[in-house]
Amino acid sequence: MNWKAVAAAAAMAGMAFGSVTAAEGTHDSRIALMKQIGGSAGALAAIAKGTKPYDAEAVKAALTTIATTAKVFPDQFKPGSDMNDPEVSPKLWENMDDFKARAAKLSTEAETALAQLPADAAAVGATVNTLGATCGGCHKAYRLKD
């Protein structure tokens, strides 16, 4: 078991949780959570590309982070939160049910992959493609680029 990967994931989750609870619903809290998902997706992509060796514990940690973070991400967009965030489309608040469904889909996809743990780089690549399509769809609908 790769305890370093597990410890690193737990430390990252703890840091992000602390920063999110300090200023929930702000641009910075949203970015902190997205960085967790992005970092986990990057770790999976490195395995899929072969730039990092396959490590089941690292895959588990990344998928767990994506699943749990996607579940709580919509909480950053409650009424009264920062609706003037320059990276968030006003459409998000108009279509909150769709946004929540997209986040739930990402979480479910990560949980499904975790339950059927990808056993090699090719399987991790297929998982990255699935998760990436879901992430990209939400970004296309609700993220504004500067």
pLDDT at 105: 98
139 annotated ligand-binding residue: yes
Give domain status of residue 17, yes or no: no
Task: Please determine, for residue 36, whether its predicted confidence score (pLDDT) is greater than 60.
Answer: yes
Whole-angstrom Cα distance, residue 141 to residue 55?
33
Domain count, the chain: 1
Give domain status of residue 45, yes or no: yes
Give domain status of residue 5, yes or no: no
Containing domain of residue 62, as a range?
Answer: 27-75+82-142
Give domain status of residue 116, yes or no: yes
138 annotated ligand-binding residue: yes
What is the CATH number for 113? 1.20.120.10
Average pLDDT rounded to a whole number, residues 92-120: 97
DSSP 83: T
Q: Which residues pair with 143 in a beta bridge?
A: 88
Give domain status of residue 44, yes or no: yes
Average pLDDT rounded to a whole number, residues 29-56: 97
Give domain status of residue 14, yes or no: no
Q: How many CB atoms lie within 10 A of CB 47?
A: 25
Give domain status of residue 19, yes or no: no
Helix (H, G, I), strand (E, B) or coil at 82: coil
27 annotated ligand-binding residue: no
pLDDT band with cut points at 50, 70 and 90 for residue 12: low
- Does the pTM surpass 0.85? The reply is no
Average pLDDT in the chain: 88
